[in-house]
Protein backbone atom coordinates (compact mmCIF):
# COMPACT_ATOMS: atom_id res chain seq x y z
CA UNK A 1 0.00 0.00 0.00
CA UNK A 2 1.72 3.20 -1.15
CA UNK A 3 1.41 6.48 0.69
CA UNK A 4 -1.49 8.59 -0.55
CA UNK A 5 -0.94 11.99 -2.13
CA UNK A 6 -2.22 13.65 1.06
CA UNK A 7 0.15 11.58 3.20
CA UNK A 8 3.08 12.58 0.99
CA UNK A 9 2.19 16.25 1.45
CA UNK A 10 2.17 15.76 5.23
CA UNK A 11 5.48 13.87 5.09
CA UNK A 12 7.01 16.76 3.12
CA UNK A 13 5.83 19.11 5.88
CA UNK A 14 7.27 16.87 8.59
CA UNK A 15 10.70 16.33 7.02
CA UNK A 16 10.96 19.86 5.59
CA UNK A 17 11.66 18.68 2.06
CA UNK A 18 9.94 19.32 -1.25
CA UNK A 19 7.05 17.14 -2.33
CA UNK A 20 9.12 15.97 -5.32
CA UNK A 21 11.90 14.80 -2.98
CA UNK A 22 9.41 12.93 -0.80
CA UNK A 23 7.70 11.33 -3.81
CA UNK A 24 11.03 10.06 -5.12
CA UNK A 25 12.19 8.77 -1.74
CA UNK A 26 8.80 7.21 -0.90
CA UNK A 27 8.85 5.09 -4.06
CA UNK A 28 11.30 2.64 -2.45
CA UNK A 29 9.57 2.24 0.93
CA UNK A 30 8.55 -1.20 2.14
CA UNK A 31 4.97 -1.90 3.24
CA UNK A 32 6.14 -1.95 6.86
CA UNK A 33 7.79 1.45 6.51
CA UNK A 34 4.67 2.90 4.89
CA UNK A 35 2.57 1.59 7.78
CA UNK A 36 4.99 3.08 10.31
CA UNK A 37 4.97 6.43 8.53
CA UNK A 38 1.16 6.33 8.47
CA UNK A 39 1.13 5.92 12.26
CA UNK A 40 3.57 8.83 12.64
CA UNK A 41 1.41 10.99 10.37
CA UNK A 42 -1.59 10.39 12.64
CA UNK A 43 0.48 11.30 15.73
CA UNK A 44 1.86 14.36 13.92
CA UNK A 45 -1.69 15.52 13.24
CA UNK A 46 -2.52 15.40 16.95
CA UNK A 47 0.54 17.42 18.02
CA UNK A 48 1.11 19.61 14.94
CA UNK A 49 -0.19 22.81 16.54
CA UNK A 50 0.38 21.91 20.17
CA UNK A 51 3.17 24.16 21.43
CA UNK A 52 2.40 24.14 25.15
CA UNK A 53 5.36 23.51 27.40
CA UNK A 54 4.99 22.95 31.11
CA UNK A 55 8.05 22.69 33.34
CA UNK A 56 8.39 21.49 36.89
CA UNK A 57 6.96 18.21 38.15
CA UNK A 58 5.34 17.60 34.76
CA UNK A 59 7.24 17.91 31.50
CA UNK A 60 4.76 18.03 28.63
CA UNK A 61 6.64 19.11 25.53
CA UNK A 62 5.54 17.94 22.09
CA UNK A 63 8.73 19.28 20.48
CA UNK A 64 10.50 16.04 21.41
CA UNK A 65 7.69 14.03 19.81
CA UNK A 66 7.88 16.15 16.67
CA UNK A 67 11.66 15.66 16.59
CA UNK A 68 11.28 11.89 16.95
CA UNK A 69 8.81 11.75 14.06
CA UNK A 70 11.07 14.04 11.99
CA UNK A 71 14.10 11.77 12.49
CA UNK A 72 12.23 8.47 12.02
CA UNK A 73 10.65 9.49 8.73
CA UNK A 74 13.78 11.17 7.35
CA UNK A 75 15.71 8.00 8.13
CA UNK A 76 13.14 5.72 6.45
CA UNK A 77 13.17 7.94 3.36
CA UNK A 78 16.97 7.84 3.22
CA UNK A 79 17.23 11.62 3.58
CA UNK A 80 20.43 13.17 4.96
CA UNK A 81 20.72 13.85 8.67
CA UNK A 82 19.66 17.37 9.68
CA UNK A 83 19.42 18.62 13.25
CA UNK A 84 15.76 19.20 14.11
CA UNK A 85 16.70 21.63 16.86
CA UNK A 86 18.60 23.88 14.44
CA UNK A 87 15.22 24.72 12.98
CA UNK A 88 14.10 26.40 16.18
CA UNK A 89 16.87 28.27 18.01
CA UNK A 90 14.90 28.55 21.25
CA UNK A 91 14.48 24.76 21.42
CA UNK A 92 18.17 24.28 20.64
CA UNK A 93 19.21 26.51 23.53
CA UNK A 94 16.85 24.70 25.88
CA UNK A 95 18.23 21.32 24.78
CA UNK A 96 21.81 22.45 25.37
CA UNK A 97 20.86 23.91 28.76
CA UNK A 98 19.25 20.62 29.81
CA UNK A 99 22.20 18.52 28.64
CA UNK A 100 24.81 20.69 30.29
CA UNK A 101 22.81 21.30 33.45
CA UNK A 102 22.00 17.61 33.79
CA UNK A 103 25.67 16.74 34.28
CA UNK A 104 25.98 18.68 37.52
CA UNK A 105 24.77 17.88 40.99
| Each residue's pLDDT tens digit, 64-104 | 888 999 999 999 999 998 888 755 545 444 444 444 444 44
pLDDT tens per residue, range 61-75? 788 888 999 999 999
How far from 43 is each of 10, 21, 56, 66, 101, CA to CA, in Å?
12, 22, 25, 9, 30
- CA torsion through residues 10, 26, 17, 20, sign: negative
Amino acid sequence: MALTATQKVTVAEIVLESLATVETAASSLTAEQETSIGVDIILWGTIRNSHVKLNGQVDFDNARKRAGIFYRIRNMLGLPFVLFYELNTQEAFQLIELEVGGNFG
